[in-house]
Chains A and B, each alone.
Chain A
Amino acid sequence: MSTQVPETETETEADEETGVEHEESLAPAQQERMRKKAEGRADREERARREAEERANAEEDTYHLKVFRFDPEVEGKQEPRFDDFHVPFEKGMTVLDALIHARDTFDSSLTFRHSCRQAICGSDALFINGRQRLGCKTQLSDLDQPVRVEPLPHADVEKDLVVDMEHFYEQMEAVEPYFDADELPDGELEEQRQTRENREKVKMSTRCIWCGACMSSCNVAAGDNEYLGPAAINKAYRFAMDEREGENRKQQRLNILEQEHGVWRCQTQFSCTEVCPKDIPLTEHIQELKREAVKNNLKFW
């Protein structure tokens, strides 16, 4: 499949031709730059903080955020800490709006994922005042101050509020998350019929935006790295309950879900259901699949 040319080899060629220094030999220079920047940065941050304080004192309506900071690469940020930001408040402002303001005005190194800012891309799930929420759909006015903003628990922090999502994606992909009908209708313009009731049944499960809030809130997933987790099981539910796939495929899906680290691990604590920003009844879906698995294993002979 894909071929990967060793990085060093191609770089060396490029270097000889252009005289550009090698990546590794750049490291000390880079470190020096980073050190100098970090120094200048401290000054500027101090200034920004002072300005924020002044603004707060000027009786402007501000919100106080305490934001988790960490960067493995930058001196002075390798020790996790919280930074304070005082953000001017406007009606309707969300936590994401406040973070963007803080970044664009006070500290451009403040790092977080975000894109659609309308609760559909799933990239800004954060731990806000002790609970997993999407930054973009959490109104500041609903929160007590100071608003604590932290990365999702139970995931490795890459930098500031950004966590490594790789494990989450792997679990999602472990359930064979794709439609796979036993048979398709003849003719490329012929639809597979699906009843309204069946579409209604799977509808909530199809709303998952892969934000990872549920996985982060799940005690079982925190203790068992192999547990498929609520999002992946919900994804499997979406297909297992779709009448268009057929019995063979459903059987295979149940086999995946019945394995040791599948549905039986769930202890019905409902934390995933509580935090899901799309209101998917995750725990119910897991319970329903447990029932299916039991039925599946009952042999009447």
Chain B
Amino acid sequence: MYEHDVIVVGAGGAGLRAAIAAQEEGADVAIVSKLHPVRSHTGAAEGGINAALREGDSWEDHAYDTMKGSDYLGDAPAIETLCKDSPKEVIQLEHWGMAFSREEDGRVSQRPFGGLSFPRTTYAGAETGHQLLHTMYEQLVKRGVTVYDEWYVSDLAVTDEERPEDRTCHGVVAYDIQTGELSGFRAKEGVILATGGLGQVFDHTTNAVANTGDGVAMAYRAGVPIEDMEFIQFHPTSLPSTGVLISEGVRGEGGILYNAEGERFMYEYGYASNDGELASRDVVARAELNEVGEGRGIDDEYVHLDMRHLGDERIVDRLENILHLAKDFEGVDGLEEPMPVKPGQHYAMGGIETDENGETCIGGLYAAGECACASVHGSNRLGGNALPELIVFGKRAGAHAAGKDLGTAEIETGQRGEYEPGEIDTPVRPGEVEPAGGEGDAVADGGVAAETGSGDGLDIVERAVTRERERVQSLMEKDDGVQHAEIRSDVQETMTEHVNVFREEDGLKQALEDIAEARERYQNVFVKDPSRTFNTDLIQTIETRNILDLAEAITLGALARDEFRGAHWRAEHQERKDDEWLKHTMLSWNDGSPEIWYKPVILEGEDKEYEPKIRSY
């Protein structure tokens, strides 16, 4: 058993920032991560980090753009917090030495990005995330924060009161990947989930292989509602063969999209006659797939992104990394030829429900970064808004968990107040399946354990460890069955087939059936590798369970929301229905069966109310 005041799960941008903030508040903090911190996926972010730093710009404008970009599904208190805090946080990074690109006068450079009324995307070439991740890890080293790297957190230690709002999180259970040791980590003050994205739910994604949504799935099963899961961002420019991201910075600098006929389709087909290539990501992604669908795609699969006209010097200065990616992964020289691009899963707008201080409805449990949903992105995230989210909310969660008073949150979490129950017509019963022949032990369920009285939470952590040890043993003991890789790839394929950029009712139902079938097969999953040393077979088997739960949550949310908002497009419902749908989709794991309910969007800001406007393309 290990003990710290604050335990941060995950070591990307949000986790590192949370750890630094908690330590600055005097807490003994430790990070537990399944990777070494510098391997985290934040390092792959390219374009930049939005902050209103310059004269002529303001946090209010940033907030307005963000609310508009969200298609009015963002919560104003969270958005305003993001936009107010990000300038200070970005300059903090600069003070920590981050190698931003520079203007002639030596100040940090900013560039235009999609959906922004001011060029406020602060950047470091096309490798902003790499620079940010390393800068923060350096500060972590400077402060001597404890890091348990290559430890896989597989469950939370949460009490079992009936209402999630009454439960408390006392720590986590983690598995040392190098030795196979399973151990409890007690957190005296709080656990912060900063586990990042869930791109591995899909088979064409810009996300790392490690992005399996572990934090979201664990919090969900422990009773925390998950919010707006149907809103998945598909980035319009990923390389067709691998999903590797080509930054929006290319279009920000003036890159042009062409179809197979050589037409600049964003204008010629009127997808976004004002903004062209710099329309919101959802608009561009749909336009590209339309072109391909109508026979104007290249090789029936992709379109071209051309940056040659920008000139070698500008490309090398600002987008050098893109040249390397196009060359290494597609064999294309971006200085000489246009690059092939198509939409790829990129970002989960939804996630663990939190307030603007990073708190969930379970006491002592926090979340920040992509795994969380404080609801700053609503139904569509603006490019350049993910990195400020990591540092702003990472810092707030860390500081709050360590005892700093951040004031009362305006966003309520859990089913505390008035909430609207929902219903979905599903072809199969989602959630738990009957254990097959008593072998259901392979499936961890719920993160809860009965409180036994000592009050310090140690017993809760110990019970969670025991339960997790049993689960691992049962997975390891089986000699035959189904392998996780088969189940995983089946789920990824059905999600990409049916729950992608374009969604139809029949397809969504088909996906739910496929996921239910995958759940059945998961009952018989087995780990073939008998070793305790670096058993990636075991880790991936546990991750696959998380992928199953999240795939189902995304699809359920998508089926329930019969309107067209932001990234969520429905064939049968081609309009935004504000009267009915200005609300968040919430899913609660209720004894293994997802319960759907709704809570209203907060459009009331500090000084103003954000009025939904028609989105004109």
Contact = CB atoms under 8 A, between A and B. Distances in A.
Q: Do chains A and B stick together as partners? A: yes
Interface of A: 1-5, 7, 10, 13-14, 17-18, 20, 30, 33-34, 36-38, 40-41, 44, 71-74, 77, 92, 103-105, 107-109, 111-112, 114-123, 137, 139, 158-160, 162, 165, 169, 173, 176-181, 184, 188-196, 199, 202-203, 206-210, 239, 242, 244-245
The 7 A-B residue pairs with the shortest CB-CB distance, nearest first, are A179-B97, A193-B106, A109-B529, A37-B530, A178-B138, A104-B485, A178-B142
A108 B537 contact: yes
B365 to A, nearest CB: 21
B210 A210 contact: no
B411 interface: no
A34 B44 contact: no
Contacts of B458: 10
B386 to A, nearest CB: 16
Contacts of A7: 1, 181, 183
Given A4-B1, A108-B527, A196-B103, 4 more contacts: A5-B1, A7-B1, A74-B531, A116-B209
22 contacts: A2-B28, A3-B4, A4-B3, A7-B181, A18-B463, A37-B528, A71-B531, A73-B532, A77-B531, A103-B485, A108-B485, A108-B527, A115-B41, A115-B209, A122-B39, A123-B39, A178-B139, A178-B142, A194-B102, A209-B38, A239-B97, A244-B97
A205 to B, nearest CB: 9
A37 B477 CA distance: 9
A159 to B, nearest CB: 5
Contacts of B601: none
Contact of A192 (B35, B95, B134, B535): B95
Interface stretch (B214-222, B282-290, B304-312, B324-332): B324-332
Contacts of B92: 188
B107 interface: yes
A66 to B, nearest CB: 20
Contacts of B483: 104, 108
B392 interface: no
Given A2-B3, A73-B531, A109-B529, A199 B208 contact: no
B329 A194 contact: no
A10 B183 CA distance: 10
Contacts, number: 215
A13 B208 contact: no
Which of the listed residues B98, B328, B485 has the most CB atoms from chain A within 10 Å of its own CB? B328
Please report whether the interface of chain A is mostly helix, strand, loop or mixed according to DSSP: loop
A199 B107 contact: no
Given A1-B146, A165-B36, A206-B131, A159 B531 contact: yes
Contact of A111 (B4, B131, B142, B534): B534
Contacts of A4: 1-3
A135 B484 CA distance: 23
A117 to B, nearest CB: 6
B476 interface: yes
B273 interface: no
Contacts of B28: 1-2
